[in-house]
Structure 1
């Protein structure tokens, strides 16, 4: 709920299971002519529907650490911020080809950075995309192996080796450090859970040691979803007690910041608008079914399809099944 700005954070071991990469990599244009057409279409394209109403993640995080080559120490962008930017746009694979998305990223870099830093960031993007492509091949190899903790560890080690071909140690730590910490923590917990020589009490002790040693950034990353849930529960309780939306805004602004509170308020408005549309649709659906009570099933379904097409977009219509018997 919090991230209507499309922030994309590494998902630990989930990041190792990259079968989906094969799907999005397959969406790349097959030849140079197709790629050129895709790139030229960007100038007139509004971008992916799923990114509308959001802002690119990553570019608003200047840092003196991990500055890009050619950037000043005070004006550089950290590599982690650039990876978040890349992933923000790459989250739309399936809606757009990889080449189209890459051009959108380059355009964003040109708008945001000076020429030297933009060129350095584009080179990093090229390496990142090549790495993703090699990762597809790597996953295909491991997909043939039996599942289990051993396979996950081998997959993790192979991915680490692969990354050294594309990134130096500084880049790798900044771009993947949190994901790696999450992966190592998860693998260690699997080892504890699968160790038959440990009693239940000993396993709890070992897990407590891991909890204590968990890096602060990883702990905060894992706590973030629970913090969002707690904040949402507080907002609902405040409304139940008669609190206004202004009261809710102040609650969220104090817990987060005004910008995040503004985004959450917009999400609330979008959700309320969606609920209103659903209520209107269900009422009209019932009216249509009643008026066609004696019609054939084909006629009723045709009328319902027309109703859905009139009130919802193609991307919205699959969600309607959750609201109907």
Structure 2
């Protein structure tokens, strides 16, 4: 588990009910572009563990982190920005920068090494000393928030659809208490808007007092309230959903991969078709990993000789063996609960 971990802290994925968790596991809407000249991105384009090919090799990191191998030769995610007055900008890129390093850890014991690594990365990217200290102070608040969100998740346990609004309000209060308004909005504003919009859609769709026409009108009104860039993302999503349904029917009818690729090329272009083919392969590999994990988990659970504490430790070891990051383990747990809900239904 990561430092001061909390499933709720990242994408509010503690709500693992059938329809809603699928939404939460989907990619988030991209950030709207910043106005020209309003922020400056500090130097931030070097791979995480490999040196820049145009510069002399650097000394290796002072302390290793448990999941270093998962980001070998991969650029550090996120960015550090300052505004026109030279102040640190609290935005999703800064949160992603912190999450990148937090994601290389497994336990609280790794926190000191993680902080050292983050400072080293900022020095290498020539981030000014004052901004480095601002980032580390922001990290303190962010870690405290993640811990509080993790405690909230533990208290709440499995969240029902009826509890969603209540938990969301508690999470918003935790963010304001630990992060302040500016960091809360920058780190989570668009994500929070996305979740609240989805909840509003669900209330409309599940309202028995509305006719089908009234529901469609209210859903259109809700859509028009979204920022333009989000509406564009939604439109692209609808296009992909339509295409996904077409490919599903084609596969059921026995279409080949070449025929599927031809359809995607006509609809989206050759480059997008190639990317979707790669995604198909990644999904297939993920499903194979998940299936192996589920078989091993069932074998462990069927061992009557294990005590409750032995069972918990065995399952934790199993998740660590099969999944490299907390995000993957979270996704596996959520999908397992979804599968269980389908079987119960």
TM-score computed with the length of structure 2 as normaliser: 0.50
In structure 2, distance between residues paired with 1:96 and 1:13: 16
In structure 2, distance between residues paired with 1:128 and 1:195: 37
Deviation at 1:47, TM superposition (A): 5.2
Deviation at 1:80, TM superposition (A): 2.6
In structure 2, distance between residues paired with 1:131 and 1:182: 20
User: Which of 117, 121, 135 matches 1:108?
Assistant: 121
Deviation at 1:51, TM superposition (A): 1.5
Question: Between Structure 1 and Structure 2, how many residues are aligned?
Answer: 218
In structure 2, distance between residues paired with 1:79 and 1:210: 25
Q: Which residue of 2 aligns with 1:157?
A: 169
Q: Which residue of 2 aligns with 1:16?
A: 12
Cα RMSD after superposing both structures: 4.6
Deviation at 1:12, TM superposition (A): 11
| Cα-to-partner distance string for 1:105-158 (whole Å, 9 max, x where unaligned) | 3332333311100010001011101100000111122226x6113x11001100
Asked which structure has the greater CA Rg, the reply is 1
Q: What secondary structure sits across from 1:56 in the alignment?
A: coil
Pairing 1:71-220 to 2, within 5 Å after superposition: 72=86, 76-94=88-106, 99=111, 100-112=113-125, 113-143=127-157, 147-149=160-162, 151-220=163-232
Deviation at 1:200, TM superposition (A): 2.1
User: Which of 43, 55, 71 matches 1:51?
Assistant: 71
| Cα-to-partner distance string for 1:34-89 (whole Å, 9 max, x where unaligned) | xxxxxxx8535695222223211222x6353xx7xxx616xx54433211111223
Q: What secondary structure sits across from 1:137 in the alignment?
A: helix
In structure 1, distance between residues paired with 2:115 and 2:236: 30
Q: Which runs of 5+ in 1 are unaligned?
A: 1-10, 21-40, 244-249, 256-260, 276-313, 317-325
Q: Which residue of 2 aligns with 1:287?
A: none
The verdict on how the C-alpha distance between 1:45 and 1:220 changes in structure 2, with shifts beyond 3 A counting, is same
| Cα-to-partner distance string for 1:151-206 (whole Å, 9 max, x where unaligned) | 11001100111111122222221111111110110110121122121122211211
Q: What secondary structure sits across from 1:162 in the alignment?
A: helix
In structure 2, distance between residues paired with 1:63 and 1:79: 10
Task: Kindly indicate whether the alpha-carbon contact (under 8 Å) linking 1:57 and 1:88 is maintained by their aligned counterparts in 2.
Answer: yes
Deviation at 1:240, TM superposition (A): 6.5
Q: What secondary structure sits across from 2:146 in the alignment?
A: helix
| Cα-to-partner distance string for 1:198-235 (whole Å, 9 max, x where unaligned) | 122211211111111112343355567678898xx9xx
The verdict on how the C-alpha distance between 1:13 and 1:109 changes in structure 2, with shifts beyond 3 A counting, is closer
TM-score computed with the length of structure 1 as normaliser: 0.52
Q: Which runs of 5+ in 2 are unaligned?
A: 1-6, 17-60, 248-257, 286-320, 324-345
In structure 2, distance between residues paired with 1:228 and 1:88: 29
In structure 2, distance between residues paired with 1:199 and 1:98: 55
Larger RCO (CA under 8 A, 6+ residues apart): 2
In structure 1, distance between residues paired with 2:198 and 2:15: 20
The verdict on how the C-alpha distance between 1:81 and 1:209 changes in structure 2, with shifts beyond 3 A counting, is same
In structure 1, distance between residues paired with 2:82 and 2:235: 24
Q: What secondary structure sits across from 1:164 in the alignment?
A: helix
Task: Kindly indicate whether the alpha-carbon contact (under 8 Å) linking 1:62 and 1:77 is maintained by their aligned counterparts in 2.
Answer: yes
